[in-house]
């Protein structure tokens, strides 16, 4: 039976309350960490676990912790990035809403390991009801002696603050998040210095994703080696996947990394297959910012092996034939999906959410949206496809933060794999603009 590290107890009635969470073994990891382990020992276990950042970048969490500067007399901070705003991604929302004490417990352990006495959970501003759930959980944990002054008589103090986000996708970028947390406009910072040296209030800071931090109680209770034994290769542990689109069972699933993509889509345990009467056309595997793949490349590597749900396997082939696991926003399209319209919709989002600080992103995202709009609505020109490719190249790698790349990759990959569909829109505007019209040419359906 598949192991569940984060969601084993998520369906237990009342698990959002302290008492029920405690009965299921909650906060035993805090007791173990504070009473029997050193901060350095906890960091070492997280490094052994090999857990990679679950917000999208996939950087090893233990290594990130080890970079934290520790100057004398200067406070250190832990900030939880709960500003989940990537289209197609909703697993952090699911975790915080249903089992908030798991995140609170992870925050206590992680803060203790990093020597932080004040930590923050920065939550997407639209999720006010989730903020209230977290604040209630914090109040319960404080009343039971797990937060506040002298936690469990150890002499360790921790204040945990929930901060509503700035209502902008860009605030999910860690330095823009820190700017927003300081009360400023959420513009990304130039790096270096990195947050580990000068972060929140110019003090050493670690920023981690909700899912990443929520792994720490299990790691403390079971050991880093046990966590590393789950998964495949350097893709250790489990991953929460937000599955949506043209599948029979959309939802959030916890999988062991290394499950074949085909199994994840078609097995009843997970997505339950493509909706009846339709075929698999394309996949966005890790949220709107990752390259889209046609069905055949989504399921199979160039050498004929099955593609796996892991960081390495999904990126196999580079951006020519691969993609990224990203934040786990798994969007499945059948043959009724219009790739041009979907790409335009993503571009609308990135244009709207660009902070405007960098010219390539500020101007380029606007150009991509406009050109895609005219192709979708029957006014495309023959040179528009190459123009889009050129604009995407001029954005990629030329911005302070990765939002420019996130805007460019979906456009470039959609044209790379579905160029005929873009050409059909330009060549057949009358047909392409009919309600429900979709390209039915040479599609590699599964």
Torsion, Cα of 55, 281, 350, 184 (10° steps): -20
| Confidence category of residue 2, pLDDT binned at 50, 70, 90 | confident
Q: Order across the sheet with 159-164: list the strands.
A: 159-164, 118-123, 77-82, 205-209
Whether the CB-CB separation of 278 and 334 falls below 8 Å is answered with yes
**Strand boundaries in 172-260, DSSP class E:** 205-209, 231-232, 235-236, 238-245, 251-256
pLDDT number for residue 123? 97
Average model confidence (pLDDT) across the chain: 96
Q: What is the DSSP string of 70-81?
A: --TT---EEEEE
Average pLDDT score over residue span 335-339:
96
Average pLDDT score over residue span 120-127:
96
Helix (H, G, I), strand (E, B) or coil at 205: strand
The whole-angstrom separation of Cα 167 and Cα 195 is: 22
| b/e per residue 248-258 (b: at least 16 CB within 10 A) | eebebbbbbbb
pLDDT at 164 over 90: yes
The whole-angstrom separation of Cα 160 and Cα 142 is: 10
Whether residue 193 is preceded by a cis peptide bond, meaning omega within 30 degrees of 0, is yes
pLDDT at 443 over 80: no
Tell me what percent of the residues of the chain surpass a pLDDT of 90: 95
pLDDT number for residue 418? 96
Average pLDDT score over residue span 119-132:
96
Q: What is the DSSP string of 369-437?
A: HHHHHHHHTT---TTHHHHHHHHHHHHTT-SSSTHHHHHHHHHHHHHHHHHHHHHHHHH-HHHHTSTT-
Average pLDDT score over residue span 293-311:
96
pLDDT number for residue 336? 95
Whether the CB-CB separation of 141 and 147 falls below 8 Å is answered with yes
Question: pLDDT digit string (tens) for 20-33?
Answer: 999 999 999 999 99
| Confidence category of residue 346, pLDDT binned at 50, 70, 90 | very high
The whole-angstrom separation of Cα 333 and Cα 36 is: 50
Average pLDDT score over residue span 257-265:
98
pLDDT number for residue 440? 83
- DSSP 8-state assignment for residue 358: S
Rg (CA), the chain: 22
The whole-angstrom separation of Cα 18 and Cα 434 is: 55
Cα→Cα distances 229→95, 161, 295, 426, Å: 23, 34, 30, 51
pLDDT number for residue 172? 94
**Strand boundaries in 70-112, DSSP class E:** 77-82
pLDDT at 238 over 90: yes
Q: For strand 280-284 and strand 293-294, is the pairing parallel, antiparallel, or unpaired?
A: antiparallel
Closest CA to 257 of 311, 322, 321: 311
Residue 189's CB is within 10 A of a number of other CB atoms, namely 19
Strand-pairing partners, residue 123, are 82, 164
Q: Order across the sheet with 238-245: list the strands.
A: 251-256, 238-245, 329-334, 280-284, 293-294
Average pLDDT score over residue span 182-211:
96
User: pTM of this prediction?
Assistant: 0.95
Length of the chain in residues, anyone? 446
pLDDT number for residue 436? 86
The whole-angstrom separation of Cα 128 and Cα 319 is: 37
Whether the CB-CB separation of 378 and 433 falls below 8 Å is answered with yes
| Confidence category of residue 442, pLDDT binned at 50, 70, 90 | low
* Dihedral (CA of 229, 231, 232, 235) sign: negative
pLDDT number for residue 219? 98
Q: For strand 118-123 and strand 77-82, is the pairing parallel, antiparallel, or unpaired?
A: parallel
Closest CA to 375 of 326, 340, 403: 340
Cα→Cα distances 295→261, 334, 423, Å: 10, 9, 20
pLDDT number for residue 56? 84
Question: pLDDT digit string (tens) for 39-62?
Answer: 999 999 999 999 999 988 889 999
Cα→Cα distances 34→17, 116, 145, 258, 388, Å: 22, 13, 13, 33, 54
pLDDT number for residue 409? 97
Strand-pairing partners, residue 329, are 242
Average pLDDT score over residue span 81-92:
96
pLDDT number for residue 179? 97
pLDDT number for residue 115? 97
Average pLDDT score over residue span 171-184:
96
Whether residue 192 is preceded by a cis peptide bond, meaning omega within 30 degrees of 0, is yes
């Amino acid at each position: 039976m598949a192991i569940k590290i984060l969601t084993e107890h998520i369906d237990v009635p009342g698990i959002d309350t302290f008492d029920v969470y405690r009965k299921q073994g909650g906060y035993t990891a805090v007791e173990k960490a504070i009473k029997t382990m050193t901060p350095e020992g906890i960091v070492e276990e997280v490094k052994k676990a090999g857990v990679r950042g679950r917000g999208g970048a996939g950087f090893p969490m233990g290594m990130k912790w080890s970079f934290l500067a520790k100057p004398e007399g200067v406070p250190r901070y832990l900030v939880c990035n709960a500003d989940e705003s990537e289209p197609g991604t909703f697993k952090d929302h699911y975790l915080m809403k249903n089992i908030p004490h798991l995140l609170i417990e992870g925050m206590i352990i992680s803060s203790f390991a990093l020597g932080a006495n004040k930590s923050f959970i920065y939550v997407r501003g639209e999720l006010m009801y989730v903020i209230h759930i977290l604040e209630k959980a914090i109040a319960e944990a404080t009343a039971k002696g797990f937060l506040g002054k002298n936690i469990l008589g150890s002499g360790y103090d921790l204040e945990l603050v929930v901060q509503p986000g700035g209502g902008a996708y860009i605030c999910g970028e860690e330095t823009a998040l820190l700017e927003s947390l300081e009360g400023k406009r959420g513009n990304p910072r130039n790096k270096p210095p990195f947050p580990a040296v000068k972060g929140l209030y110019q003090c050493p800071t670690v920023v981690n994703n909700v899912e990443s931090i929520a792994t720490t109680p299990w790691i403390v209770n079971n050991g880093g080696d046990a966590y590393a034994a789950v998964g495949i290769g350097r893709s250790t542990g489990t991953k929460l996947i937000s599955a949506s689109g043209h599948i029979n069972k959309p939802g959030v699933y916890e999988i062991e990394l290394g499950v074949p993509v085909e199994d994840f889509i078609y097995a009843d345990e997970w997505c339950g297959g493509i909706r009846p009467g339709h075929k698999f056309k394309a996949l966005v595997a890790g949220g709107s910012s990752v390259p889209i793949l046609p069905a055949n490349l989504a399921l199979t590597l160039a050498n004929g092996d099955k593609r796996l749900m892991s960081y390495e396997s999904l990126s196999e082939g580079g951006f020519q034939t691969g993609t990224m696991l990203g934040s786990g926003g798994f969007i499945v399209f059948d043959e009724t999906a219009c790739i041009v319209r979907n790409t335009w919709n993503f571009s609308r989002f990135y244009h709207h959410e660009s902070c405007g600080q960098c010219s390539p992103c500020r101007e380029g995202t606007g150009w991509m949206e406009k050109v895609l709009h005219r192709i979708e609505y029957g006014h495309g020109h023959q040179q528009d496809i190459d123009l889009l490719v050129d604009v995407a190249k001029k954005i990629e790698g030329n911005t302070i933060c990765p939002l420019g790349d996130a805007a460019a990759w979906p456009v470039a990959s959609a044209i790379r794999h579905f160029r005929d569909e873009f050409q059909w829109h330009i060549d057949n505007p009358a047909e392409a603009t009919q309600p429900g019209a979709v390209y039915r040419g040479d599609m590699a359906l599964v």
